[in-house]
Amino acid sequence: MIKISNVTKKYGDFTAVKDLSLTVNKAEFLVILGPSGCGKSTLLRLINKMIARDSGEIEVNGEDIDDLKGEELRKTIGYVIQSIGLFPHMDVKKNIATVPHLLKWKNDKISKRVDEMLALVGLEPEKYRDKKPSELSGGEAQRIGVARAIASDPDILLMDEPFGAVDPINRLRLQKEFRKIQKELKKTVVFVTHDIDEALLLSDRICILNQGEIVQIDTPERIVLDPKNEFVKDFFKGEGILTILSRKPAIDYAEAVLLEEEPLDENATLRDVLTEMLTTGKDRVALINGSISWDSILKVAGSDINEV
Ligand SMILES: Nc1ncnc2c1ncn2[C@@H]1O[C@H](COP(=O)(O)OP(=O)(O)OP(=O)(O)O)[C@@H](O)[C@H]1O
């Protein structure tokens, strides 16, 4: 758990983070979203003491970070960023082993861990462990970055646009894989992005920042369907509805009305139902456990559906 209380950070006269309070729960995936320069990266770097705050308190797993040395704290918190990436002179296994090595793990434990991490992010250990970063594609390098961050099994991961350099197709695959890993391993994640779809797809909650202050912090559904003010509304511009629908399994919304037609696949989402309705003109679509009506979709999506 991370508890941030009334934290302010200034660069000279400029206040980048203003009296900000926020709690990130254990095993929660919190996305920090906001326009360029709103203080997202600054907030992340305050948590692992890469920069010092001017006032306020930060606790990590119940401990005041002022009672911990920066290097010690950073060994227990994974950190992934887009721009620095991997150490170019080290091969993949040395890159992944950085923190386990600092933690003085035994060599055989480290080797085993490196292979486990490569498998976890979907890269064959035999093929990848001896490669240099220059021999990797952008997507592969990002996976190694994620593997490195979780190699020492930290409870907490801070991620600053970690998939920013990856092409859209691989990016979606990486996002889904990473969310699955995070749920399985119950990691607490604070993830910075300015990509709305990424935020909606990954998060348990989204924290919207503007000029160093929290504008709204809530579940993706509530942020999209019930934006707190014009800033949040403008930020999403009605874009989020389809992503929200794609997070919801259609069978959860089935009504006991049976139709004599081929049902949609059991994994179909409300977005698939909407596509079926829009392409066929039907106002009710068959599911394996009943059917779903256009009105139900409208109810889930709110009136904004008319704008998509
Ligand atoms: N070392 C620094 N010295 C002075 N100003 C800084 C410094 N680092 C950041 N800033 C300023 O603080 C503000 C917040 O920066 P930060 O990097 O946290 O924003 P961000 O929301 O992560 O932006 P982006 O999405 O563009 O990465 C920006 O206006 C930035 O110019």
∠97-102-108 over CA atoms, to 5°? 50
The reply to whether ligand 1 has any atom less than 6 angstroms from the CB of 16 is yes
- CATH code of 2-237, in short, is 3.40.50.300
Residue 173 has pLDDT above 80, yes or no: no
The pLDDT-based confidence of 308 (bands split at 50, 70, 90) is very low
Mutate to test the pocket of ligand 1, among 11, 54, 158 (most ligand atoms within 8 A of CB): 11
Report phi then psi at 69, rounded to 5: -70, 145
Report CA(81)–ligand 1 centroid distance (Å). Answer: 15
Tell me the two tokens of residue 272.
């698939």
Rounded to an integer, the average pLDDT of 161-178 is 78
Express each pLDDT in 193-229 by its tens digit: 988 888 888 899 999 999 999 999 998 888 887 889 9
Report CA(16)–ligand 1 centroid distance (Å). Answer: 7
DSSP string, 192-243: EES-HHHHHHH-SEEEEEETTEEEEEE-HHHHHHS-SSHHHHHHHTTTHHHH
Residue 294 has pLDDT above 70, yes or no: yes
Mutate to test the pocket of ligand 1, among 9, 17, 32, 41 (most ligand atoms within 8 A of CB): 41
Pairing of strands 205-210, 188-193: unpaired
Q: ipTM surpassing 0.90, yes or no?
A: yes
Express each pLDDT in 74-102 by its tens digit: 888 988 887 556 889 999 999 999 888 88
Report CA(225)–ligand 1 centroid distance (Å). Answer: 30
- The pLDDT mean for the chain works out to 88
CATH 3.40.50.300 domain locations along the chain: 2-237
The answer to whether 241 and 305 have CB atoms below 8 angstroms apart is yes
Radius of gyration of the chain (CA): 22
Express each pLDDT in 127-157 by its tens digit: 999 999 999 987 788 888 888 888 888 889 9
268 to each of 1, 118, 202, 253, how far by Cα in Å? 34, 31, 18, 11
Cα 206 from Cα 33, distance rounded (Å) = 7
Report CA(171)–ligand 1 centroid distance (Å). Answer: 25
Between these two residues, 241 and 184, which has the higher pLDDT value? 184
Tell me the two tokens of residue 81.
């960023």
Report CA(226)–ligand 1 centroid distance (Å). Answer: 29
The reply to whether ligand 1 has any atom less than 6 angstroms from the CB of 37 is yes
Residue 190 has pLDDT above 50, yes or no: yes
